[in-house]
Amino acid sequence: MTRPLSPEALSDLVAAIFAAAGCAESEARAIAENLVDANLTGHDSHGVIRVPNYLEWLRNGTLRAGQSIAVITESETLALLDGRYGFGQSVGPQAVALGIDKAREAGIAIVGLRHAGHLGRIGAWAERACDAGLLSVHFVNVAGSVMVAPFGGTERRMATNPLAIGVPRPDAPPLILDFATSLVAEGKLRVALHGGKPLSEDALIDRDGRLSRDPRLFYGPGELGEAALARSGSAAIRAMGGHKGSGLSFMIELLAGALTGSGCCGPGPRTLANGMLSIYLRPGAFADGAAGDTSAFAAEVESYVAFIASAQPAEPGGEVLLPGQPEQRNRERRRAEGIALEAETLAALIEAAEALSLPAETIEACLAARA
Ligand code: NAD
């Protein structure tokens, strides 16, 4: 691991990389802040490790700079949007802002987003809705990213299809559940490939049905970066939770891929894109009486939170955590202590910066900054 880097300096370097690659300053900054925030929350799999991939996708046209959402269908409570393969960090916030506006007015909104570039850590979008006082649910599929074996099978048929749910609390951090429906998110395989946290022993399954933790069986031979792009190994990631997780992923594919028109995984080549079906709920719309008093809802949430947190820990000295609590703690710690990256990840960032002819001082400023 590297010495902890300053989140701000890391963000500056990533923003400079995307600006040099052709993004407007505001888009480059949004991408950088989103990726660095994923590192801050502890999800290194969705942090700056993604930079080389995003650059490659930008070069080969999978991802497009400077896109705005196109409205395909719209009513008071519903919108279907096309992200036009723009950066998820650009079209994602636009789609979420529209859902928030509609739910604030109507009490509920459902927003389908098709053809979005990688939307990163989906919990970030649930956090935005919580900041606006709304509950939200986000189903996300990944067309063109077939890597998970369905329950009972050994071959790749599904994506890692994440689900995120956010519940705001008036006087406390929001509750954010956010996970991939595969046993591990693909980025965690990449972190393991780069020498970071190893996978669990049952994360992968090979064609013969044998379980494995070796990411090279998934990525196949080749240099780190090339292998991570090609994913040409024969093993598949396993779905989480046996038949239940596999079934959930299957349904997410239909909600986020088929219903939004983004497209599902399939046998032929498909352009890599996230589809996202999001539901936004204003608590006041569900309150008793016309005044929209949400105090009973908030009190019930707090009462249940306290009940859950009071469960006896399974291990001595252990703790029962709430959804979102690990990320919140990581954020506090990493903001104070900085972000340590795998050496391979930092080397790939520097290589990308040099390939784009960034001034040596910009790179050095990032490396020299103290957290
Ligand atoms: P994970 O396995 O780390 O699970 C994270 C969730 O579990 C969070 O809600 C967290 O608060 C909760 N949690 C973790 N430890 C806990 C504990 N001890 N007690 C209680 N709750 C706990 O997440 P993951 O499956 O590795 O997913 C990582 C990220 O990958 C997510 O942010 C997801 O959105 C993202 N992802 C994105 C895509 C995409 O295409 N954009 C695809 C797949 C995954």
What tens digit of pLDDT does each residue of 59-85 get? 999 999 999 999 999 999 999 999 999
Residue nearest (by alpha carbon) to ligand 1 atom 22: 323
State residue 143's pLDDT score. Answer: 94
In the chain the domains, ranked by start, together with CATH numbers, are 7-60+331-368 (1.10.1530.10), 70-182+239-283 (3.30.1370.60)
**252 or 222, which is more confident:** 252
Residue nearest (by alpha carbon) to ligand 1 atom 3: 179
Mean pLDDT (whole number) for 1-22: 94
Residue nearest (by alpha carbon) to ligand 1 atom 2: 179
Q: How far is the CA of 127 from the centre of ligand 1 (A)?
A: 14
pLDDT classification of 370: cutoffs 50, 70, 90? low
Residue nearest (by alpha carbon) to ligand 1 atom 44: 180
Look at the pTM and tell me if it is higher than 0.85.
yes
Residue nearest (by alpha carbon) to ligand 1 atom 26: 185
Q: Which of 58, 131, 59 is nearest to 89 (CA)?
A: 58
Q: How far is the CA of 165 from the centre of ligand 1 (A)?
A: 11
Q: Which of 119, 98, 118, 117 is nearest to 109 (CA)?
A: 98
Angle at 35 between CA 239 and CA 5, to 5 degrees: 115
pLDDT classification of 230: cutoffs 50, 70, 90? low
Q: How far is the CA of 171 from the centre of ligand 1 (A)?
A: 24
Tokens representing residue 291 in the block:
């005044």
Which ligand 1 atom lies nearest to the CA of residue 324?
A: 11
User: Contacts for 361-366 with beta carbons within 8 Å, 24 or more apart?
Assistant: 362/12, 362/13, 362/16, 363/13, 365/9, 365/12, 365/13, 366/5, 366/6, 366/9, 366/10, 366/12, 366/13
Q: Which of 246, 61, 216 is nearest to 144 (CA)?
A: 61
CB atoms within 10 A of CB 80: 19
State residue 223's pLDDT score. Answer: 65
State residue 100's pLDDT score. Answer: 98
**pLDDT 10s digits, 138-176:** 999 999 999 999 999 999 999 999 999 999 999 999 999
State residue 186's pLDDT score. Answer: 87
Beta bridge partners of 175: 167
pLDDT of 227 over the 60 cut = no
Q: Poorest-confidence range of 1-15, 94-108, 170-184, 279-293?
A: 279-293
Q: Which of 93, 168, 96 is nearest to 324 (CA)?
A: 168
pLDDT classification of 188: cutoffs 50, 70, 90? confident
Mean pLDDT (whole number) for 253-261: 98
Q: Which of 31, 37, 179 to probe ligand 1 with, by most ligand atoms within 8 A of CB?
A: 179
Average pLDDT over all residues of the chain = 94
**pLDDT 10s digits, 117-133:** 999 999 999 999 999 99
Which residues touch 89 (CB under 8 Å, ≥6 apart)? 27, 30, 31, 33, 34, 35, 117, 120
pLDDT classification of 225: cutoffs 50, 70, 90? low
Q: How far is the CA of 370 from the centre of ligand 1 (A)?
A: 28
Residue nearest (by alpha carbon) to ligand 1 atom 5: 179
As a whole-number percent, the residues of the chain with pLDDT over 70 amount to 97
pLDDT classification of 93: cutoffs 50, 70, 90? very high
pLDDT of 224 over the 70 cut = no
pLDDT of 182 over the 80 cut = yes
pLDDT of 333 over the 90 cut = yes
CA 186 to chain centre: 11
State residue 229's pLDDT score. Answer: 62
pLDDT of 311 over the 80 cut = yes
Which ligand 1 atom lies nearest to the CA of residue 186?
A: 43
**36 or 2, which is more confident:** 36
